[in-house]
Amino acid sequence: MDIAILLFDGITPLDAIGPFEVLGKLPGATVKTVGKSKGEVRTKGQSLAMIADYALTDVEKPDIVVIPGGPGADALAEDTGVTGWVARAHETTAWTTSVCTGALILGGAGVLKGLKATTHWRAMKDLQSFGAIATDQRVVREGKVVTAAGVSSGIDMALMLAAEIAGDEVAKAIQLGIEYAPEPPFDAGHIRDAPQDRIEMVRSGLSRP
């Protein structure tokens, strides 16, 4: 079972690493990090590097595709080299997934037309422009297409997928192994309850290292 995780400049690392930690533990799973070309990519602020071990052309028919988000995803949604690969891979995948603004790349590939989908709150209008029916659910499944909202929801998406693939007990064992039992110090993770000044702090780039 080949799992391809897209990497690119301007990625939000947890969007990729969260699903990697879960899906990589599935029996028989092989995780391949892919990029437009092999080599290093960096977060928007250049502070963290990640390595794409394969070029897109090296991994043409993965069983599962995971498209992370981040500031760099907006431009990739218009990059036909990337969206073309996503569209071709989607034809034969068992599962096609995104985390955060990775949904925009799925949208650019034509995967989300007419489907309910979610993404980070800042990109909901952009998601609609690709013909998706935007919803603020944390994880949305439409057939073999699964989209997750902002950053941390990628872990939830991956656990749901693990249960679909290997059963609830395997997924629960993976959850136990990564000790995923969140108890956040604040009830501040959803935009519906956020004051405008806090929203503006996020929009200004505070949370984009």
Q: Which residues are catalytic?
A: 100
How is the chain split among helix, strand and coil, in percent rounded to 5?
40, 20, 40
Q: What are phi and psi of 143, to 5 degrees?
A: 65, -125
Crossing angle (nearest 10°) for helices 168-177 and 153-166: 140
Query: Which position has the token pair 């956020």?
Result: 194
Rounded Cα distance between 180 and 194, Å, is 25
Rounded Cα distance between 199 and 190, Å, is 10
